[in-house]
């Protein structure tokens, strides 16, 4: 019923379609693998932070709020040092 040319064209279309499906699955697998690695790393980091917080709380009676307060206090001190340092001011002014 179909001529030889029609069958060749249909075969080429099917072959192109199959290669696109394979390529789609390969890209999906790469994205899935990257996503799994990111989620695993995030979960490990969350458990590590939780373990540190629990250790600080029960081992040294330091609350998470104390840690956050210490971080902000340290950043304020660092900011004051940077603002009071004339060499750093000169470098910033030279770039602007």
The verdict on 55 and 81 lying in the same domain is no
The verdict on 75 and 88 lying in the same domain is yes
Contact 67, 56 (CB under 8 A): yes
Q: How far apart are CA 43 and CA 41, in angstroms?
A: 5
pTM of structure: 0.54
Q: CA dihedral in degrees (88, 89, 93, 96; nearest 10)? A: 60
The verdict on 56 and 72 lying in the same domain is no
* Distant-in-sequence, close-in-space partners of 83: CB < 8 Å, separation ≥ 6: 89
Number of domains in the chain: 2
| Range of the structural domain that residue 78 is part of | 63-96
Q: Kindly tell me if the per-residue pLDDT of 89 is higher than 80.
A: no
Q: What is the pLDDT of residues 3-56, one digit of tens each?
A: 656 666 667 677 777 777 888 888 999 999 999 999 999 999 999 999 998 998
**53 CB neighbour count, 10 Å cutoff:** 14
The verdict on 4 and 24 lying in the same domain is yes
């Amino acid at each position: 019923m179909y001529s030889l040319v029609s069958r060749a064209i249909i075969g080429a279309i099917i072959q192109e379609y199959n290669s696109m499906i394979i390529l789609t699955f390969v890209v999906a697998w790469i994205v899935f693998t990257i996503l799994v690695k990111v989620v695993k790393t995030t979960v490990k980091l969350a458990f590590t932070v939780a373990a540190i917080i629990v250790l600080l709380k029960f081992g040294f009676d330091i609350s998470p709020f104390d840690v956050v307060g210490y971080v902000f206090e340290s950043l304020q001190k660092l900011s004051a040092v940077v603002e009071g340092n004339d060499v750093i001011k000169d470098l910033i002014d030279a770039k602007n």
